[in-house]
Amino acid sequence: MRWTCAAQRTDTVLKVENLSVSFVTRMGTTQAVDDISFTVETGKITAIIGESGSGKSVACYSLLGLIPQPPGRIDGGRALFHGQDLLQLKPAELRKIRGRDIAMIFQDPMTCLNPYMTVGKQLMEPLLYHKNVSVAQARTRALELLEEVGIRDPASTIDNYPHQFSGGMRQRVMIAMALINEPELLIADEPTTALDVTIQAQILKLLAELQTKRDIGVLFISHDLAVVADIADQIVVMQQGRIVETGNRDDIFRNAKHPYTQKLLHAIPRGGKPVELPASEPLVTVRNLCTWFHSGKTPVKAVDDVSFDILRGEVLGLVGESGSGKSTIGRSLLRLVKVTSGKVHFDGIDVTALQGRELKNLRRRMQFIFQDPFASLNPRRTVYDTLAEPLLLHGLETRATVGAHVLKLMDDVGLARAFVRKYPHEFSGGQRQRIAIGRALATRPEFVVADEPVSALDVTIQAQILELMRELGREYGLTMLFISHDLSVVRQLADRIIVLNRGSVVEQARTEDLFERPQQAYTQQLLQSIPGRGLFGEL
Amino acid sequence: MWRFIGFRVLQSIPVLLVVITVTFFLVRIAPGGPFSSEKAVIPEVKAALEAKYRLNLPMFEQYTAYLGDLAQGDLGPSFKYPGRTVNELIAAGFPVTAELGFYALLVAISIGGIAGVIAALRPNTAQDYIPMSVAMIGICVPSLLMGPILILVFGIYLEWLPVSGWGDMPGDKILPAITLGSTYAAYIARLSRAGMLEVMSQDYIRTARAKGLPEWRVVTGHALRGGMIPVVAFLGPAFAGLLSGSFVVETIFQIPGLGRFYVQAAFNRDYTMILGATVFLATLIVVFNLLSDILAAWMNPRLRSQYGDR
């Protein structure tokens, strides 16, 4: 074995040796997983860490025969589960193990539950299929488990459909479903990545509790070292299909040897930016802003009586969970949604009263960066088209002169000039977000609203984009409203932070003060949910 | 849900009104009339006839009078079949057409649905290409051609099935149903393939597989419902299309359905019959579209609760 085992003697539930998986397509063969070995012990959590494309998910899916073959192909290796080599089993034999002895939890609870089937039916299904129990027995068991994973009043919600549950609740249902046959091994593929930070903390806690109580082995896949910092026993770091480092939790966090592991550690957001609070007048003032949406009888008060200022040159962080109204505030400032009441002034101009041409002129000075760089770029337009459009639209450049400006923008956001004729699908997520930032900066705006600009990105890419935004902010003299659900991300960029909950301001403070002396219980709860929080104390 | 239905019913009123108005004036603009024939008619007789059928009134008054009758459910007397009303003619022909359309729809759903699902299970293999090519042929071959081919093969060479009539001989309903349903079977095959492919790539299908369910249970238990929603939404327009498009098949197989009356009426300038049949079919189209939309929405729990029946 290449790593030091945990101190006490343990039983190995899964032992993977020299697993190699490749994908064979017309474009050629891609080695997705290259000769990896790891073990999962009973009662322990082994975490596999790597960025998208590192092969971590493929490795785990291939163990259970869940990658499509072809194009997938298992080239070699063994995966011993109770002395049985999973890779040699026939599909029918593997099916008996799947969902009974080895269960899985997936990333996105929004899409992983069947929207056409009640939660109860889906929950009972593995039990009814694998074990000889009656429907009534299965239902009793399902209710017990729902209770155990923290679903309130399971008896009245068990016959609901998934869309009637929140994201966190759905993930609890997924966990219950995975545990219903009392498996010996649980494979959790990024189980918290799609969740808000407070929900993430709850789910991680729940997983750790259930795992300890049942004494089962867990294989936890994540792109984020911070997430597994508090729960993992063993950590396996993967890069481009290979394992670059394996060790127990303390080894990895204290003495990471491989440069890639060090890079991942470095990318964990920590600390804030040096405070340089500009003593300037407000550029944006928001007074008693209300934005309500009307559907059904009672209006949804997305933003309810919110007031704040954004000073010229500062980065104001807006933090809250999904549904807190943070995105709606951003959109309201730019008049992308209709404001119900209240005033927004930008540089002395009443934004809420503007019409037509005046609004267009103002939009040149205020720009928006969206969360999802996949959805917010037009797939039929090249980078050149995307970046040139705002320049031409606002008459800042002519067709003849726009080229040079576009290339300058490419330089600014760190994209090679050679890519200028490429289409969005040819870029990675990080590169696309660079394009989106370039588009926002094209008109040399004074004010930018960045709505979760890094939450769709891998951790290391996240760090790069934040760095880029910091540099460009300084260079362009930007005032920024930075919206995120993740306090540790906001901390790196924001001078001041506003915490939102259910459409109202909970707390408003300088970044440093907020982290060191949070005044409100809700803020404290958010701070405690930051993954890997314990880590910073230790390091 | 009731609000949704009520809204859709209100929406259909202007649609029907436009259909009635356009048809009403188009048939009158067309050259010729119900009583113009090669045989010379005494002017007095013609005038009496025209007075009886209100053809002597200004066109706009004819229109408002027709609308008034229509509001009471009266489609007027037939011009060509004296002594019989359009209501009676439709009542006689429609059950036959509806029965034919129903069988054709059964053929379309069973053949098309099964072919589409089978194709979607192994996309881009022979299992996909063969049924889909057959479906493409089904779309391309009009019933005008399909009918005679089926008659030749099954009626004349093999002598398995009767080639005309409706309910006179056992099995005489099979060939018309297949002829009429084949085009729609092809559309449904393509729709269900696309729907199933979409669903089979969803994350929850992977969840179902991870539970260890065998593939057939993954397909029938988890994929089918979502995959069939586009097909259900298509059923309404399809059934309406079957009804209004049945005249070719009715002509080929000598079936006394509404379709034949309809075509005859157009040739005869039987104004009230044309209008009556058009209004009737347009209403059916609207109703079936509404029904299939309701059914498709009801099959999707998210939409169901959105329309507030929970």
Q: What is the ipTM of this complex?
A: 0.73
Looking at the predicted structure, is the pLDDT value of residue A441 above 50? Answer: yes
Task: Answer yes or no: do B210 and A129 touch at CB < 8 A.
Answer: no
Same domain, A309 and A440: yes
Residues 6+ apart with CB under 8 A from B179: B104, B143, B146, B147, B150, B249, B252, B253
Looking at the predicted structure, is the pLDDT value of residue B288 above 60? Answer: yes
Query: Using CB atoms, which residue from B204, B210, B308 is nearest to A104?
Result: B210
How far A220 CA lies from chain B's nearest CA (Å)?
16
- Average model confidence (pLDDT) for chain A? 83
Exposed/middle/buried for residue A2 (C-beta within 10 Å: 0-12, 13-18, 19+): exposed
Looking at the predicted structure, is the pLDDT value of residue A15 above 50? Answer: yes
Same domain, A56 and A83: yes
Q: Could you count the other beta carbons within 10 Å of the beta carbon of residue A7?
A: 7
- pLDDT tens string B115-170: 999 998 888 888 888 888 888 888 888 888 888 888 888 888 888 888 777 877 77
pLDDT of residue B307: 58
Task: Answer yes or no: do B301 and A163 touch at CB < 8 A.
Answer: yes
* pLDDT level of residue B192 (50, 70, 90 thresholds): very high
Closest residue, chain A, to B202 (C-alpha): A111
Same domain, A264 and A407: no
- Rounded to whole angstroms, the Cα distance separating A77 from A231 reads 28
- pLDDT tens string A191-234: 887 777 778 888 888 888 888 888 888 999 988 888 888 888 88
Closest residue, chain B, to A123 (C-alpha): B211
Q: What is the mean pLDDT of residues B178-185?
A: 88
- Average model confidence (pLDDT) for chain B? 83
Please say which residue of A127, A158, A180 terminates a domain: A180
Q: Which residues of A touch B210 (CB under 8 A)?
A: 64, 66, 98-99, 103-104, 106
Count of helix runs (H) and strand runs (E) in chain A:
21, 20
Q: Which residues of A touch B209 (CB under 8 A)?
A: 66, 98
pTM of this structure: 0.72
What is the 3-state secondary structure of B30-98? Answer: CCCCCCCCCCCCCHHHHHHHHHHCCCCCCHHHHHHHHHHHHHCCCCCECCCCCCCEHHHHHHHHHHHHH
* pLDDT level of residue A276 (50, 70, 90 thresholds): low
Q: Is the residue at A201 inside a domain?
A: yes
Select the more confidently predicted residue: A360 or A102.
Answer: A102
- pLDDT tens string A519-537: 888 888 888 888 776 665 4
Same domain, A199 and A335: no
* pLDDT level of residue A271 (50, 70, 90 thresholds): low
Domain topology for B95-306:
MetI-like fold (1.10.3720)
Could you tell me which residues of chain A have a Cβ less than 8 Å from any Cβ in chain B? 64, 66, 92, 95-100, 103-104, 106, 108, 111-117, 125-126, 129-130, 161, 163-164, 174, 177, 296
Q: Which residues of B touch A113 (CB under 8 A)?
A: 204, 207
Q: Which residues of B touch A129 (CB under 8 A)?
A: 211-213, 217
Please say which residue of A180, A200, A227 terminates a domain: A180
Closest residue, chain A, to B310 (C-alpha): A160
DSSP strand pairing (A315-319 vs A479-484) = parallel
pLDDT of residue A303: 86
Write the Ramachandran bin of A240: left for phi over 0, alpha for psi from -120 to 50, otherwise beta: left
Same domain, A309 and A382: yes
Contact yes or no for A114/A125 (Cβ under 8 A) = no
Q: Which residues of A touch B199 (CB under 8 A)?
A: none
Looking at the predicted structure, is the pLDDT value of residue B171 above 50? Answer: yes
Looking at the predicted structure, is the pLDDT value of residue B310 above 60? Answer: no
Select the more confidently predicted residue: B115 or A8.
Answer: B115
Task: Answer yes or no: do A103 and B299 touch at CB < 8 A.
Answer: no
Same domain, A411 and A517: yes
Query: Using CB atoms, which residue from B209, B211, B226 is nearest to A116?
Result: B226
Q: For residue A2, give its domain range.
A: 1-101+185-268
Tell me the CB-side half-sphere exposure of residue A102, using CA atoms within 13 A.
27
Looking at the predicted structure, is the pLDDT value of residue A8 above 50? Answer: no
pLDDT of residue A539: 37
Rounded to the nearest 10 degrees, what angle do helices A135-148 and A167-179 cross at? 130
Name the DSSP letter for residue A268: S
- pLDDT tens string A483-524: 988 888 888 888 889 998 888 888 988 888 888 888 888 888
Q: Is the residue at A537 inside a domain?
A: no
Q: Is the residue at A343 inside a domain?
A: yes
- Asked if B213 is an interface residue toward chain A (Cβ–Cβ < 8 A), one would say yes
Ranges of each domain in chain B: 95-306
- Rounded to whole angstroms, the Cα distance separating B113 from A304 reads 50
pLDDT of residue A2: 42
pLDDT of residue B193: 92
Q: Is the residue at A274 inside a domain?
A: no
* pLDDT level of residue A3 (50, 70, 90 thresholds): very low
pLDDT of residue B261: 80
Q: What is the mean pLDDT of residues A278-290?
A: 82
B72 token code pair: 């009471």
Tell me, what CATH number does A445's domain have? 3.40.50.300
Query: Using CB atoms, which residue from B211, B217, B305 is nearest to A98?
Result: B211
The total number of structural domains in chain A stands at 3
- Rounded to whole angstroms, the Cα distance separating B73 from A528 reads 71
Looking at the predicted structure, is the pLDDT value of residue A454 above 80? Answer: yes
Same domain, A128 and A205: no
Looking at the predicted structure, is the pLDDT value of residue A6 above 80? Answer: no
pLDDT of residue B71: 83
- pLDDT tens string B202-213: 889 988 888 888
pLDDT of residue A203: 83
SS3 B283: helix
- Asked if B211 is an interface residue toward chain A (Cβ–Cβ < 8 A), one would say yes
Task: Answer yes or no: do B226 and A108 touch at CB < 8 A.
Answer: no
Residue from B121, B124, B211, B217 to probe the interface with A (highest A Cβ count within 10 Å): B211
Same domain, A213 and A315: no
